[in-house]
Amino acid sequence: MWEEEAWELLEKSITYYQGQPIGTVAAQDPEVQALNYDQCFIRDFVPSALVFLMHGRTEIVRNFLVETLAMQSHDKGMDCFAPGLGLMPASFKVKHDGTREYIEADFGESAIARVPPVDSCLWWILLLRAYVKATGDVALAHQADFQTGIKLILDLCLVHRFSMYPTLPVLDGAFMIDRRMGVGGHPLEIQVLFYAALRTAKELLLPQDGGHFYLQSITQRLGALKYHIREYYWLDLQRVNEIYRFKNDEFGKEVANKFNIHPESIPAWLTEWLPDNGGYLAGNLGPGHMDFRFFALGNLMAILVSPASSEESQSIMNLFEERTADLMGFMPLKICFPAVEGVEWRIITGSDPKNFPWSYHNGGNWPVILWLFAAAAQKTGRQALAQKAIALAETRLIEDKFPEYYDGKQGRLIGKESRLYQTWTIAGLLTAKEIMNNPKHIDLFSFEEEVESPGYRL
């Protein structure tokens, strides 16, 4: 049984601090130089944490939450610059110096290209909620240090700088796609995680000690954010028709083309590719800029945490069904579609060979996303789609030694620089299986659609 082997590998990936399990390392490939893959990444730990919670192994998740919270306050930036206090590290590693054991965290100051891990604090807060849901131990989240931790995260996310939109502006490579890929600005993945983090904070934050001020801003921001995502990111044939006939350079408040999107920027592939019954949320949106690429993680998360309506969620699942060859291929799932090629690749990625067309982040296939697909399929009642995807993945993954990612238009090649025995590939498959066996598990991570708060008016 592959499950047994997968569990053994997962077990072996656990990293210990002072004798206690506190996380899992990213990969255990014996043949490739570890670089930072011997670290515990916050985002990578998510599927491991979920499958541990589903199996009653709650201690490791608790330890992880406590230890990472202790890392939150730091002064490690670049060139003596200290970033905001709420930042959570991208990854950490347990080290020994002969006499003592200590944890070294990386907030981006050691990461390739010094990318800030914006998503870490958002995933962290979601994991806290999953832990509370699985154990009923709300007391942990109510502890003073946890309340402060949540507020620090909110301080970072809710601060008003020069933004005009309710979305969160970030640099390129600030999340799972942690290299230059033209995903700076207001990428969908961060907006959906931000939305989910706000909903979590609303559940877990106590009104005392200034908490009610935060709760007020959360309510306001949630309404505006949901409206913004639904109204402006959504794409289906009808919407593309509207954009196609947009007027440009409109001035004033009541205009149709608020972001001044030029119809000429609609890519040639899109109109042919969109099925009649399918739609999705665009990858990014800003002034004169709509990224029409399809990003799987942001769209699946949008189904799970509900900035997408139930109708939109069905349309996204229809898209997966109608465009299986492109979005699943031989190994589910494609991280983003389509790849950028030629001059576009040179300009957008800075000629990054790792992100060559149809490789790695640039149109590669990432089996870890399978757990999100299974959860989204459960939530939308489209289980058959997930069963098919899991069946496709399971035999191949075990034969291929759980690679990090696959390359090629349809994901037929093991990724060129892919690590083997990648922990989140293993945990993602196990989590997907568990979710299919017990639909209740999606409660750990999903939100129902929010009823509009009375304080919010358009």
State the minimum distance, in angstroms, from the CB of residue 93 to ligand GLC: 12
State the minimum distance, in angstroms, from the CB of residue 37 to ligand GLC: 6
Judged by CB, which is closer to ligand GLC: 41, or 345? 41
Judged by CB, which is closer to ligand GLC: 175, or 345? 175
- Interatomic CA distance for residues 366 and 358, integer angstroms: 12
Judged by CB, which is closer to ligand GLC: 134, or 333? 333
SS3 100: coil
CB 16 within 8 A of CB 23: no
Query: Which CA distances in Å does 410 have to 8, 248, 290, 416?
Result: 30, 37, 25, 14
- Length in residues, the chain: 458
State the minimum distance, in angstroms, from the CB of residue 29 to ligand GLC: 11
Beta strands in 276-388 (DSSP E): 279-281, 284-286, 289-291, 294-295, 336-337
Judged by CB, which is closer to ligand GLC: 40, or 390? 40
State the minimum distance, in angstroms, from the CB of residue 258 to ligand GLC: 32
State the minimum distance, in angstroms, from the CB of residue 181 to ligand GLC: 10
Give strand pairing partners of 234: 281
Judged by CB, which is closer to ligand GLC: 123, or 233? 123
- What is the Rg, in whole angstroms, of the alpha carbon atoms belonging to the chain? 21
Judged by CB, which is closer to ligand GLC: 67, or 178? 178
State the minimum distance, in angstroms, from the CB of residue 391 to ligand GLC: 25
Phi, psi of 14, deg, nearest 5: -70, 135
Q: Are strands 14-17 and 406-407 parallel, antiparallel or unpaired?
A: unpaired
Which positions lie near ligand GLC, rule CB under 6 A?
Answer: 26, 41, 43-44, 176, 178
State the minimum distance, in angstroms, from the CB of residue 343 to ligand GLC: 24
Judged by CB, which is closer to ligand GLC: 306, or 349? 349
State the minimum distance, in angstroms, from the CB of residue 409 to ligand GLC: 20
CB 226 within 8 A of CB 307: yes
CB 229 within 8 A of CB 195: yes
Judged by CB, which is closer to ligand GLC: 44, or 326? 44
State the minimum distance, in angstroms, from the CB of residue 227 to ligand GLC: 29
Q: Give the Cβ contact number of residue 422 at 10 Å.
A: 28
Say how many CA atoms lie within 13 Å of 345 toward its Cβ. 17
Handedness of CA 313, 317, 319, 320 (dihedral sign): positive
Judged by CB, which is closer to ligand GLC: 43, or 228? 43
Judged by CB, which is closer to ligand GLC: 178, or 236? 178
Handedness of CA 280, 169, 111, 75 (dihedral sign): negative
CB 434 within 8 A of CB 442: no
With CB atoms as reference, the residue minimizing the distance to ligand GLC is: 26
CB 368 within 8 A of CB 46: no
Q: Give the Cβ contact number of residue 210 at 10 Å.
A: 11
CB 371 within 8 A of CB 435: yes
State the minimum distance, in angstroms, from the CB of residue 41 to ligand GLC: 4
